[in-house]
Amino acid sequence: MRKGWNYLLLGFGLFSLLLSIWMIGHQQPGSNERIITYVNIIIAVILIFISLLLFMKERRNNNDSYDKKGV
């Protein structure tokens, strides 16, 4: 996966998480809107987690290709 997709996943996840947390304050407790907002928070956290895993995987791949000679 290209590096741009990782940033896109991370950015969209953070934006969705912040927007969902902000929206909870404007919704009535127990409403269907609030349940959907909780689902959006879970999806946003999953997107952030996946993007961080992809960043770590890419970092490990870059470290494996490093030559010990410094070249």
pLDDT, tens only, 16-66 = 999 999 999 899 998 999 999 999 999 999 999 999 898 888 777 766 555
Instruction: Determine the 3-state secondary structure of 10 from DSSP.
Output: helix
Q: Which pLDDT score, from 0 to 100, does residue 58 have?
A: 77
Return d(Cα 43, Cα 34) in angstroms, integer. Answer: 14
Return d(Cα 30, Cα 63) in angstroms, integer. Answer: 49
Decide if 30 contacts 61 (C-beta within 8 A).
no
Decide if 27 contacts 34 (C-beta within 8 A).
yes
Return d(Cα 37, Cα 45) in angstroms, integer. Answer: 12
